[in-house]
Amino acid sequence: MGRFVPLILLAVAVGLYFLLPYNLAFLTRILIMVLLVLSLDLVLGYAGIATLGQAAMYGAGAYAAGLFAIHVWADPLAGLVAGAVAGAILALVSGLVILRAQGLTVIMLTIAVAQICAEIANRARDITGGADGLRGIRMDPVLGLFEFDFVGQVGYWYALIVVAVIFCFLMVLGRSSFGLSLRGIHESPARMGAIGVSVYWRRVAAYTIGGAIAGIAGALTAQITQLVSLETFAFVLSAEALIMLILGGTGRLYGAAIGTFVFMWAHHTAASNDPFNWLFVIGAMVLAVVFLLPKGLISMPAALTQIFKGGRDAGT
Amino acid sequence: MSLKQGAALALAIATCVTGAAWADTIKVGVIASFSGPFAQYGTQYRQAIEAYQAQHGKTAGEHEIEFIYKDVGGTNPDQARALAQELLIRDRVDYLAGFTFTPNALAVASMATQSETPTVIFNAATSAINKDSEFFLRTSYTLWQVSVPLAEWAYDQGIRTVATTVTDYGPGIDAENAFREAFEAKGGEVIDEIRMPLSTTDFTPFIQRVRDQKPDAVFAFLPGGPPTFTFTKTYNENGLKAEGIRFLGTAETEEVNLQGLGDAAIGLTTAYHYSGAHDSDANRAFLAKLNELDPKAIANWASVGAYDGVHLIYQMVAAAGSDGPAAVEAVKSLEWESPRGPLKMDPETRTVIQNVYIREVERNPDTNLLQNTEKGIIATVGDLGWDK
Amino acid sequence: MSLLLNIAVDGVAYGMILFMIAVGLSVTMGLMRVVNLAHGGFAMIGGALAHWLLQDLGFGFWLAVPLAVAGTVALALPLERLIYRRIYDFGELQQVLATIGLTFLMIASVNLWQGSSLLSIPLPSALSQPVDLGFRTLPFHRIFVIALGLAVIIGLWWLIDRTRFGIKLRAAVDNRATASSIGIDTGKIYMASFGIGAGLAAIGGIFGAELLPIDAYYPLRYMVLFLIVVAIGGMGSIPGSFAAALGIGLTETAARYLVPDIATIAFFALVIALLALRPQGLMGRA
């Protein structure tokens, strides 16, 4: 049934455009976040690398795209490439060190990399604008035709198409021999090592591709907000991306999309109703998912089936 | 589609949906932090806004005024921009307000300009922000505005050598530059410029370094909340006062966390635009209303920034309704009596011209609480950082 | 010379605070194999309770502190029963999600209860007096914290090395299944250890509030800091946490004295170097 889910998601994304014409900026933020969480799904769900520092690549992509637009060329697609390259390079360089470790150590190393990036961006304030943010990003029209508009229509379609393309790319990647070997590594690194697969280098490759995608997400946010702040490197952003991924369910791509959508939607709705105490809702939702749907929201159909069949161990 | 067409379309859609029923209600969207590490600022804003409405009613001119609060979390320009757009297009607000952090304000500059929405900044204190949009008005202060008079006053008091200690980020550097420039222009000497990392939790090393150099005074600027609180405590507890190294600050003794500093804070000198102990009827009325609505509420710079911001919005609404350019024009040179003292808008910088007071922390014998007692006005200034 | 002494004194005091808060985290992560991101929340709850007892109810300091610690433990034990016990067998990611959710609830609760301003915990004058060390003065609070940290590590060593509880605890850590098969009630051991960890966090939160002030956002603000202590020390190792906390305290302090401009970068670069060389931490179990 998983085959149709991406198409349904695409239909939902198109439908939302017409249903919520006043919320396009918010919907665009969800799309960008979906992209970041997808990159995390490749890294964590496929390759099994636990990270709390995916924002490092996101931030690198955002600053790279912003600086590229200001100093080199304001073409959006070229900016995406700049973001991807920056994210990939940072992931490659840091991944060479990080991926030699395991478990909690990997998590801490990824956090440390993101913190260093944030501090470098803060200190290089002549280039990055420091805590005031990188200003003056003015993008050319997409493909020279579609100018970014006030309502965010162009921004929405632009982000949606980028997300859809990356989604397809990841689907193809997941079925390729590279993707299958990643899954093999995730399930049993020792076995894959024994049959002659270089576990380390495949992980580095996955981490680098994930970094490129996170970089593209960062580039998108730089182009649409026209400002990049130090918070693009924030620990909280990495942590939220992780929450969204686990919430949706790892290793399935559409789990990333669903988790992001549900989390951000719940946040948005709760914060609109009560800007002061919405955190209660998010906390309760997260806990409920852990206990009722341990495999994430994507396991909901299976869990419901179990309940209706009278299965008693729906949770295990 | 061009930007203008887009805006027109949005407006057209919005008009169809919301209809004319709201024509006499003017909505103000407040974008601020109501959750996360800086939730305190949002709380201060809301309390001040509610106090103003309780004092002056909910109508200005013929219009009812309604505030819509949106939580931006912290420094989050993406979220600020998305919220501004939602407020402008879906909620059809005519005014924007709030903005604690510079990047959040900068992110909505182009939207404010395109939609001609007057945007009142309650805090964000980087001078250059107002250059990004003709529709930005600011009722807080800028770092130059308080740091320069402080430096000049310090020199006049006979202080000749100063060590500056600032947090190593944009506003900190701003404050450091402002202080040094003014102090050296007078003939004083800055003997050490310490920049402390943003993540610092233990300030003892920096305080010790200052102590070893024995300057006449130490100038400090840190972001609000835990860093400011811990730094001031560390200064107090390491015997610098006993060695004759004076403390020169700005927001360090702000009222919300002042009681927590304890007796050691007595005698700390700061230059700032608002003290909760400001001796005027306007301030007493403001405080009384604030405490009537919430007995635990404490007024500080964030409260007064929001309070005066609301005043500005009321004046704009009364003068021009929802006509953005006319509204800004109407208050460009507005003068009024604020709880902090007399205020005047500067038509060029669109930031308030105000008194900067020299204050000392004392214990009020009546309430037994610590307060910033104003010892005098040291300057009446506009945004001194505008041309920097 | 006085520079070195300064670094030593300030670094050790800072390290002791980190140790007290993080040791409970290390125990729960090593013993129960739970990635407990909510641990800082117990430090915050301890601090918030102390603030409430002192400021709102007017208790004396030395009465309020034990009550606040006891209150934190009293909250932690049912939480262990209701939530943690159920996630021991979950995967790491589910544990991350569950404990983050719990952290959010803690933040929201304290925010609703006490607001979002800093919750001050005024020290009695005995603790806030400056003490003259000859080459400098030091608030007595720092000396007290150093002594308290030493008392905690000695107490823990005694508990684990010299008591029946300690024997059972070590058995449960080494092999849970075997331990329960020889009649050790691992459930109770876990609950007791969790309570001790939470109580220590509360003590650390209260006495550490001079450097890490308490407010509703505390658990997220300092989460990374506490995790670094555990990662460097090695999960489940009390001496490891001690060494790591002191090491981090000294390193950070030295960096601030010597190279303030690049202190943050230097600190994290050191963390990376150390973890790259010793992925299991200083004294971690492989």
Please give the full DSSP string across B336-383, using - where no structure is assigned. Answer: EEETTEEEEE-TTT-BEEEEEEEEEEEE-TTT--EEEEEEEEEEEE--
Q: Which residues contact A151 (CB under 8 A, 6 or more apart)?
A: A21, A24, B6, B7, B9, B10, B85, B89
Residue B170 has pLDDT above 90, yes or no: no
User: How would residue B4 be classed by pLDDT, with cut points 50, 70 and 90?
Assistant: very low
Confidence at residue C24, expressed as pLDDT on a 0 to 100 scale: 83
C263 to chain B, any CB pair closer than 8 A? The answer is yes
Q: Which of C90, C268, C279 sits opposite A105 (nearest CB)?
A: C279
Residue B21 has pLDDT above 70, yes or no: no
Q: How far is B38 from chain C (nearest CA, A)?
A: 8
C259 to chain A, any CB pair closer than 8 A? The answer is no
Chain A residues at the B interface, defined by Cβ less than 8 Å, are 21-26, 28-29, 32, 115, 119, 122-123, 125, 129-133, 135, 146-154, 221, 224-231, 271-272, 275-276, 278-279
Which of C44, C79, C262, C264 to probe the A interface (max A CBs under 10 A)? C264
Confidence at residue A4, expressed as pLDDT on a 0 to 100 scale: 83
Mean of the per-residue pLDDT values for chain C?
89
Spell out the alpha helix ranges (H) of B157-218: 170-186, 204-213
Interface of B with A in 8-47 (CB under 8 A): 9-10, 13-14, 34-35, 39, 42-43
> Domain locations in chain C?
2-121+140-277
Do the Cβ atoms of A235 and C111 come within 8 Å?
no
Q: Which of A104, A123, A289 sits opposite C231 (nearest CB)?
A: A104
* C24 vs C11: CA distance, rounded Å: 21
Any bridge partners for residue A134, and if so which?
Answer: A228
B170 to chain A, any CB pair closer than 8 A? The answer is yes
* C269 vs C92: CA distance, rounded Å: 26
CA distances in angstroms from C35 to A158, B62, B119, C39, C167, listed in the order given: 39, 59, 45, 9, 24
B111, B117 Cβ separation under 8 angstroms: yes
Residue B219 has pLDDT above 90, yes or no: yes
Using a CB-CB cut-off of 8 Å, the residues of chain A touching C94 are 246, 290, 294
* B303 vs B289: CA distance, rounded Å: 12
Q: How far is A227 from chain B (nearest CA, A)?
A: 6
Which of A28, A123, A132, A265 to probe the B interface (max B CBs under 10 A)? A132
Q: How far is C117 from chain A (nearest CA, A)?
A: 13
Question: What percentage of chain C reaches a pLDDT higher than 90?
Answer: 47
Which chain B residue shows the shortest CA-CA distance from A126?
A: B170
Q: Which of C90, C105, C271 sits opposite A283 (nearest CB)?
A: C105
> Domain locations in chain A?
23-235
User: How would residue B19 be classed by pLDDT, with cut points 50, 70 and 90?
Assistant: very low
Q: Taking the model in full, what pTM does it have? A: 0.91
Q: Which of B86, B103, B170 sits opposite A125 (nearest CB)?
A: B170
* Per-position pLDDT tens, chain A of length 316: 567 888 889 999 999 999 988 889 999 999 999 999 999 999 999 999 989 999 999 999 999 999 999 999 999 999 999 999 999 999 999 999 999 888 888 988 999 999 999 999 999 989 999 888 999 899 999 998 899 888 889 999 999 999 999 999 999 999 999 998 888 888 887 888 788 778 899 999 999 999 999 999 999 999 999 999 999 999 999 999 999 999 999 988 999 999 999 999 999 999 988 888 899 999 999 999 888 888 888 888 877 777 776 544 433 3
State both tokens at C116. Answer: 């979002």
C141, C123 Cβ separation under 8 angstroms: yes
Q: What is the pLDDT of residues A199-228, one digit of tens each?
A: 899 999 999 999 999 999 999 999 999 999
Do the Cβ atoms of B6 and A276 come within 8 Å?
no
More confident residue, C161 or B12: C161
Do the Cβ atoms of A125 and B102 come within 8 Å?
no
A182, A199 Cβ separation under 8 angstroms: no
Confidence at residue B95, expressed as pLDDT on a 0 to 100 scale: 96
Do the Cβ atoms of B1 and A154 come within 8 Å?
yes
* A286 vs A246: CA distance, rounded Å: 10
Please report all neighbours of A, defined by 3+ CB atom pairs within 8 A. Answer: B, C
C138 to chain B, any CB pair closer than 8 A? The answer is yes
Q: Which of A29, A133, A151 sits opposite B82 (nearest CB)?
A: A29
Residue B166 has pLDDT above 90, yes or no: yes
Q: Which of A29, A153, A271 sits opposite B71 (nearest CB)?
A: A271
Q: What is the pLDDT of residues B259-311, one digit of tens each?
A: 888 888 898 999 999 999 999 999 999 999 999 999 989 999 999 999 999 99
* B69 vs A272: CA distance, rounded Å: 8
3-state secondary structure B294-337: CCCCCCCHHHHHHHHHHHHHHHHHHHHCCCHHHHHHHHCCCEEE
* A171 vs A173: CA distance, rounded Å: 5
* A255 vs A257: CA distance, rounded Å: 5
* B299 vs B255: CA distance, rounded Å: 7
B194 to chain C, any CB pair closer than 8 A? The answer is yes
Using a CB-CB cut-off of 8 Å, the residues of chain A touching C93 are 44, 50, 242, 246, 250
Q: Which of B70, B103, B169 sits opposite A275 (nearest CB)?
A: B70
Domains and CATH numbers, chain B: 3-141+279-350 (3.40.50.2300), 143-272+356-381 (3.40.50.2300)
Task: Check residue A233 and report its DSSP letter.
Answer: G
What topology does CATH give the domain C2-121+140-277?
ABC transporter involved in vitamin B12 uptake, BtuC (1.10.3470)
* B121 vs B140: CA distance, rounded Å: 7
Specify the range with the lowest mean pLDDT, choosing from A138-152, A285-299, B216-230, C169-183.
C169-183
Using a CB-CB cut-off of 8 Å, the residues of chain B touching C136 are 208, 211, 238
State both tokens at C107. Answer: 């933040």
Do the Cβ atoms of B82 and A28 come within 8 Å?
yes
C168 to chain B, any CB pair closer than 8 A? The answer is no
Which chain B residue shows the shortest CA-CA distance from A151?
A: B6
State both tokens at B63. Answer: 């219009």
Q: How much is the CA Rg of chain B, to the nearest whole Å?
A: 21
Q: Which residues contact B6 (CB under 8 A, 6 or more apart)?
A: A149, A150, A151, A153
Using a CB-CB cut-off of 8 Å, the residues of chain B touching C14 are 201-202
Please report all neighbours of C, defined by 3+ CB atom pairs within 8 A. Answer: A, B
Question: What percentage of chain B reaches a pLDDT higher than 70?
Answer: 94
C229 to chain A, any CB pair closer than 8 A? The answer is no
Closest-CA residue to B27 (of B344, B287, B334, B317)? B317
Q: Which of B7, B39, B82 sits opposite A25 (nearest CB)?
A: B82
Closest-CA residue to A56 (of A103, A99, A93)? A93
B186 to chain C, any CB pair closer than 8 A? The answer is no
More confident residue, C238 or B374: B374
Which chain C residue shows the shortest CA-CA distance from A45?
A: C93
Interface of B with A in 199-258 (CB under 8 A): 199
Q: Find the mean pLDDT for residues C137-141.
A: 86
β-pairing verdict for B352-363 and B370-381: antiparallel
H or E element, residue B252 = none
Residue C281 has pLDDT above 90, yes or no: no
User: How would residue C277 be classed by pLDDT, with cut points 50, 70 and 90?
Assistant: confident
Do the Cβ atoms of A135 and B132 come within 8 Å?
yes
Question: What percentage of chain B reaches a pLDDT higher than 90?
Answer: 71
* A131 vs A231: CA distance, rounded Å: 9
Do the Cβ atoms of B40 and C117 come within 8 Å?
yes
Residue B9 has pLDDT above 80, yes or no: no
ipTM: 0.89
Residue B175 has pLDDT above 90, yes or no: yes
